[in-house]
A and B are shown apart, each in its own frame.
Chain A
Amino acid sequence: MSDAVAISKFVIAFAVAYAVLYVLSVQYNLALFTYHAATEEFHLLVQPTNDGPAMYWYGWLATSTLGALAIAALVSWLPVVSAKRLWHGCAWTVPLVVMVVFVFMLRRYFVR
Chain B
Amino acid sequence: MIVFLLIVHSLLAVALLGAITHQTISAWAPASRGAAGSFIARMRAVPPTSYVNAVLVLYALTALLGAIIYPSYRLNVRIVLEQMQLYIPNGAFELKEHFVALGLGMLPAYWYFWRAPHVAEYGRTRAILTALLAFIVWWGFVVGHILNNIRGFDL
Whether B70 contacts A53 by the Cβ 8 Å rule is no
Name the prevailing secondary structure of the B interface residues: helix
A77 interfacial contact with B, CB 8 Å: no
Whether A110 contacts B88 by the Cβ 8 Å rule is yes
Whether A22 contacts B101 by the Cβ 8 Å rule is yes
A89 to B: closest C-beta gap in Å:
6
Convert B77-102 into 0s and 1s, putting 1 for each residue whose CB lies closer than 8 angstroms to a CB of A. 01100000001101110110111011
A60 interfacial contact with B, CB 8 Å: yes
Q: Which residues of B contact A (CB under 8 A)?
A: 67, 70-72, 74-75, 78-79, 87-88, 90-92, 94-95, 97-99, 101-102, 104-106, 108-109, 111-113, 121-122, 124-125, 128-129, 132
Determine the interface band of chain A, counting residues with CB < 8 A from chain B.
Answer: 35 or more
* Residue of A26, A57, A61, A89 with most partner-chain B CB within 10 A: A57
Whether B109 contacts A11 by the Cβ 8 Å rule is yes
Q: Cβ of A19: which chain B residues have Cβ within 8 Å of it?
A: 102, 105
Q: Cβ of A8: which chain B residues have Cβ within 8 Å of it?
A: 112
A-B pairs with lowest CB-CB distance, top 7: A109-B91, A18-B105, A37-B71, A91-B109, A11-B112, A15-B109, A11-B109
B120 to A: closest C-beta gap in Å:
12
Known contacts being A53-B74, A96-B132, A99-B102, is A11 close to B91, with CB within 8 Å? no
Known contacts being A58-B67, A91-B129, is A109 close to B75, with CB within 8 Å? no
CB within 8 Å of B: which of A72-109?
88-89, 91-92, 95-96, 98-99, 102-103, 106, 108-109
Known contacts being A57-B97, A106-B95, A109-B88, is A68 close to B105, with CB within 8 Å? yes
Whether A60 contacts B101 by the Cβ 8 Å rule is yes
Instruction: Considering the complex, give the chain B residue whose CB is closest to the CB of A68.
Output: B105
Whether B74 contacts A55 by the Cβ 8 Å rule is yes
